[in-house]
A and B are shown apart, each in its own frame.
Chain A
């Protein structure tokens, strides 16, 4: 490289307990370029950027910014050094105005005491017009839309003099027009000479906006390529690491039991769910999953997938509509009653929901089915042990000590505990939400095989995953969620990353999007 890099990270190691988030990771970013940092969830992108921003220190390796060795610097030094990180989760004070948020920590004051509101607002307006990030300085953060709040976040780091911007999954929460605006802003900043690092796992974005791509996998940097010299397919292969063995069990013929009886499996009719902000996050969605079938749901995160699964699992109230399991209406039943009706659920967040981290493996393996492991209210410890021994053997949970706290396990083994529990009980419908998120490669294949086995046994499976590859490899039919609705439902034979991608970002709206048509059995692979 003839030019001096704006960022140069080399041989970065970082471990959290037994988890090695980065191992010898490297990153080289030229000044004035938009650089995409891509990789699957848990590949170590965010960790790498946190070290750049001074939020944590590397165990080994060297970090240079503009040729200066800054390894292990603090957040304050990083800000002084011109690094600005726009986090995925906004860090703004909702009760203050845009201008007040921007000047927080370096407020202009009259007489050294009173905040000079006018000057603050003027400063913001000036920066706004320079960058194209238009926003009224007087508005309250709590009144802003998500896209506007993100603009404020970007303004905030620019206001503090950042010349190297790191954006962590900035489009996960944006609508397509907002995404286009963001791209325009980023190009403008680049043309001004700023350097931009974009963390993402959306391949269409990468191709559209970046000039160079660094691919990370399992904590390591596996490739650094010019965007013009690669293809989305190649990036995908680099991200996943092999000729996507995901497709190992793909598209086996539908098992004989598929749709043998009517009313079996999962049926959802005109479901609406109100989200935490009072908006309809699920808007009149209807679909069914038949026994022996996997319905995959793809979509940009935050389009209602989480709420859909929570509503089906009984963890979030239903606003309107009906949910049926094997013909039994369970719309307003409790979680426990849904279990009894035959529902099993691998939750997307195993640390928050799926496991009680302080409990032993054995005790976690009975969460949700504890009543079957007790006699007259007393836990039957022999049966708990027996159950644990069986699950540990058949799911190869390591270390195989049933009395170890779940906290002590690696992510992959924690997930195996969850999967073993949810698939080890009697069920007819399985909700599998991000079943392989943050799980090591060996475990991913194993979990996929389990899902396919359950499908072969005639279980109805609803699979939600942020990994398109996973959805494509496992599903019989694929639905794309966009803004709380199914944008399309198609047989997976007709689906591809490109086709799904268009529905995911809302540029294409399928016929299926005309709500009621997504009714039972519509669009099923036959």
Chain B
């Protein structure tokens, strides 16, 4: 420090932290969390009088070990990737979007409406973008409500998004049950256009699994989110607001405008996730399809460390746990996987510094 009085000697460099160091920093906390979860899992399995090794082997066989299971993991990971990206996008701006459930449902509903409105036989080239726009708009509208209430009246987004989940899901239920359902069911008729090709169409070994083109869309969306966050001025502003709102304000960034956009766009991303089920799997909107995926998106975002590509990896991980629960059901209750998910989330929340920071920030803001 004291050597700094010799000017002209400094030669500017652009040395990012060594690759290995960054990888360690990024990976070690989640891996430690995973290890803790595995140990807890062992204890649980043992308490059921089963062998952990056998159960874990079964879990792997039922998920990554065969084409169908793997396909199901991919399918489940797709929805989680969307909701996880949505949550992480909000968190990057310092906002906690707990409304993934209803944004996802609204998006799926809108995608189904668009699919029904389009003439039969519309090419996927047109149908997919149109359905995605519809889904994104619907999710964005739901997301814009807490965004508006926060920026206009200072209402806390956590409260508003949670409450809005009930309202939006109830409205959707009313629409379906009252107006749009196929008799005796709680789903819409099948869509006319926008059906996505499945992985099984390419490789028959995946037969029966629901993995579909939406997976590719999810990866593309993650890439777009990454580009926005780390390469654009909008992303620079958004992350600045999330890290230090007062410094962002000082830097001429409108914090309210960033909040408005971030929360709305978080809803757009969650809403687009609706295409996975509606266009890719069932081809209709069914009441309750989004159940749990919105909330699990929070865990996915945290474990993925709010990085778009981390989110993709975390989505696969949680999808594996979820699908694995079905595979091991014969030995231990599949709810064990829910417990394991909980343990992973808690472990990550304690181990990952930026998660601690976000939680601290959320607490501080709710105190105010």
A residues lining the B interface (CB < 8 Å): 18, 313, 315, 334-336, 338-339, 345, 347, 352-359, 362-363, 366-368, 370-371, 373-374, 377-379, 381, 385, 388-389, 392-393, 396-398, 400-403, 410, 412-413, 440, 442-443, 446
B183 within 8 A of A: no
* Contact in complex: A400, B240 (CB < 8 Å): no
Which of B245-286 touch A at CB < 8 Å? 246-254
Interface-facing stretch out of B68-76, B230-238, B298-306: B230-238
Q: In the complex, which residues of chain B have a beta carbon less than 8 angstroms from the beta carbon of A335?
A: 249-252
* Contact in complex: A393, B15 (CB < 8 Å): no
Contact flag A396-B9 (CB < 8 Å), given A355-B247, A358-B243, A359-B243: yes
What are 6 A-B interface contacts by the 8 Å CB criterion? A388-B12, A388-B14, A393-B11, A401-B12, A401-B13, A412-B4
Contact flag A410-B246 (CB < 8 Å), given A398-B10, A400-B11: no
Give me the 7 closest cross-chain CB pairs, A-B, nearest first: A336-B252, A442-B5, A400-B10, A389-B12, A367-B251, A374-B233, A368-B251
* Contact in complex: B243, A354 (CB < 8 Å): no
Smallest Cβ-Cβ distance to A394: which chain B residue:
B7
* Contact in complex: A396, B251 (CB < 8 Å): no
| C-alpha gap A339/B254 in the complex (Å) | 13
* Contact in complex: B250, A354 (CB < 8 Å): yes
Contact flag A401-B14 (CB < 8 Å), given A356-B240, A412-B1, A442-B2: yes
Q: In the complex, which residues of chain A have a beta carbon less than 8 angstroms from the beta carbon of B1?
A: 18, 398, 410, 412-413, 440
| C-alpha gap A440/B3 in the complex (Å) | 11
Q: In the complex, which residues of chain A have a beta carbon less than 8 angstroms from the beta carbon of B252?
A: 334-336, 338-339, 368
* Contact in complex: B249, A315 (CB < 8 Å): yes
B121 within 8 A of A: no
B8 within 8 A of A: yes
| C-alpha gap A353/B255 in the complex (Å) | 13
CB distance from B136 to the nearest CB of A (A): 19
Q: In the complex, which residues of chain A have a beta carbon less than 8 angstroms from the beta carbon of B250?
A: 313, 315, 335, 345, 347, 353-354, 367-368
| C-alpha gap A353/B249 in the complex (Å) | 8
B16 within 8 A of A: yes
Q: Find the residue from A362, A368, A385 having the highest chain B CB count within 10 A.
A: A368
* Contact in complex: B10, A392 (CB < 8 Å): yes
| C-alpha gap A388/B14 in the complex (Å) | 9
Q: In the complex, which residues of chain A have a beta carbon less than 8 angstroms from the beta carbon of B237?
A: 370
* Contact in complex: A363, B236 (CB < 8 Å): yes
* Contact in complex: A379, B232 (CB < 8 Å): yes
Q: In the complex, which residues of chain B have a beta carbon less than 8 angstroms from the beta carbon of A442?
A: 2, 4-5
B244 within 8 A of A: yes
Q: In the complex, which residues of chain A have a beta carbon less than 8 angstroms from the beta carbon of B251?
A: 335, 356, 367-368, 370
* Contact in complex: B10, A397 (CB < 8 Å): yes
* Contact in complex: A440, B8 (CB < 8 Å): no
| C-alpha gap A18/B10 in the complex (Å) | 19
B residues lining the A interface (CB < 8 Å): 1-17, 231-234, 236-237, 239-240, 243-244, 246-254
Q: In the complex, which residues of chain A have a beta carbon less than 8 angstroms from the beta carbon of B231?
A: 378-379, 381
* Contact in complex: A356, B249 (CB < 8 Å): no
| C-alpha gap A359/B243 in the complex (Å) | 9
CB distance from B178 to the nearest CB of A (A): 44
CB distance from B61 to the nearest CB of A (A): 42
How many contacting A-B pairs (Cβ < 8 A)? 117
Q: In the complex, which residues of chain B have a beta carbon less than 8 angstroms from the beta carbon of A355?
A: 247
Contact flag A359-B232 (CB < 8 Å), given A353-B246, A396-B10: no
Contact flag A392-B233 (CB < 8 Å), given A356-B244, A359-B240: no
Q: In the complex, which residues of chain A have a beta carbon less than 8 angstroms from the beta carbon of B247?
A: 352-356, 367
CB distance from A418 to the nearest CB of B (A): 10
* Contact in complex: B244, A352 (CB < 8 Å): yes
Q: In the complex, which residues of chain B have a beta carbon less than 8 angstroms from the beta carbon of A397?
A: 10
Q: In the complex, which residues of chain B have a beta carbon less than 8 angstroms from the beta carbon of A446?
A: 7
* Contact in complex: B236, A396 (CB < 8 Å): no
| C-alpha gap A388/B11 in the complex (Å) | 11
* Contact in complex: B240, A367 (CB < 8 Å): yes
CB distance from A186 to the nearest CB of B (A): 35
Q: In the complex, which residues of chain B have a beta carbon less than 8 angstroms from the beta carbon of A440?
A: 1-2, 4
CB distance from B114 to the nearest CB of A (A): 28
* Contact in complex: B249, A385 (CB < 8 Å): no
Besides A359-B243, A396-B10, 16 more A-B contacts (Cβ < 8 Å) are A356-B244, A356-B247, A356-B251, A359-B240, A366-B236, A367-B251, A370-B237, A374-B232, A377-B234, A381-B231, A393-B10, A396-B8, A401-B14, A403-B15, A412-B4, A442-B2
Q: Find the residue from B11, B16, B244, B249 having the highest chain A CB count within 10 A.
A: B244
CB distance from B235 to the nearest CB of A (A): 8
* Contact in complex: B233, A377 (CB < 8 Å): yes
Q: In the complex, which residues of chain A have a beta carbon less than 8 angstroms from the beta carbon of B239?
A: 359
| C-alpha gap A209/B311 in the complex (Å) | 62
Q: In the complex, which residues of chain A have a beta carbon less than 8 angstroms from the beta carbon of B17?
A: 403
Q: Find the residue from B3, B7, B247 having the highest chain A CB count within 10 A.
A: B247
Q: In the complex, which residues of chain B have a beta carbon less than 8 angstroms from the beta carbon of A362?
A: 14
Contact flag A398-B4 (CB < 8 Å), given A334-B252, A367-B247: yes
CB distance from A129 to the nearest CB of B (A): 38
Q: In the complex, which residues of chain A have a beta carbon less than 8 angstroms from the beta carbon of B7?
A: 396, 446
Q: In the complex, which residues of chain B have a beta carbon less than 8 angstroms from the beta carbon of A354?
A: 247, 250
| C-alpha gap A354/B3 in the complex (Å) | 24
CB distance from B367 to the nearest CB of A (A): 14
| C-alpha gap A373/B237 in the complex (Å) | 13
CB distance from A243 to the nearest CB of B (A): 18
Smallest Cβ-Cβ distance to A18: which chain B residue:
B1
Pick the contact of A401: B9, B15, B246 (CB < 8 A): B15
| C-alpha gap A363/B254 in the complex (Å) | 18
| C-alpha gap A354/B189 in the complex (Å) | 57
* Contact in complex: A379, B4 (CB < 8 Å): no
| C-alpha gap A443/B1 in the complex (Å) | 10
| C-alpha gap A31/B12 in the complex (Å) | 54
Q: In the complex, which residues of chain B have a beta carbon less than 8 angstroms from the beta carbon of A400?
A: 10-13
| C-alpha gap A23/B5 in the complex (Å) | 20
Smallest Cβ-Cβ distance to A405: which chain B residue:
B17
Smallest Cβ-Cβ distance to B254: which chain A residue:
A334
| C-alpha gap A392/B239 in the complex (Å) | 24
| C-alpha gap A228/B7 in the complex (Å) | 43
Smallest Cβ-Cβ distance to B230: which chain A residue:
A379
CB distance from A359 to the nearest CB of B (A): 7
| C-alpha gap A393/B8 in the complex (Å) | 6
CB distance from B352 to the nearest CB of A (A): 14
Smallest Cβ-Cβ distance to B240: which chain A residue:
A356
Smallest Cβ-Cβ distance to A410: which chain B residue:
B1
* Contact in complex: B9, A371 (CB < 8 Å): no
Q: In the complex, which residues of chain B have a beta carbon less than 8 angstroms from the beta carbon of A339?
A: 252
* Contact in complex: B249, A370 (CB < 8 Å): no
CB distance from B307 to the nearest CB of A (A): 14
* Contact in complex: A378, B248 (CB < 8 Å): no
| C-alpha gap A442/B13 in the complex (Å) | 23
| C-alpha gap A454/B82 in the complex (Å) | 51
| C-alpha gap A18/B3 in the complex (Å) | 14
| C-alpha gap A352/B244 in the complex (Å) | 7
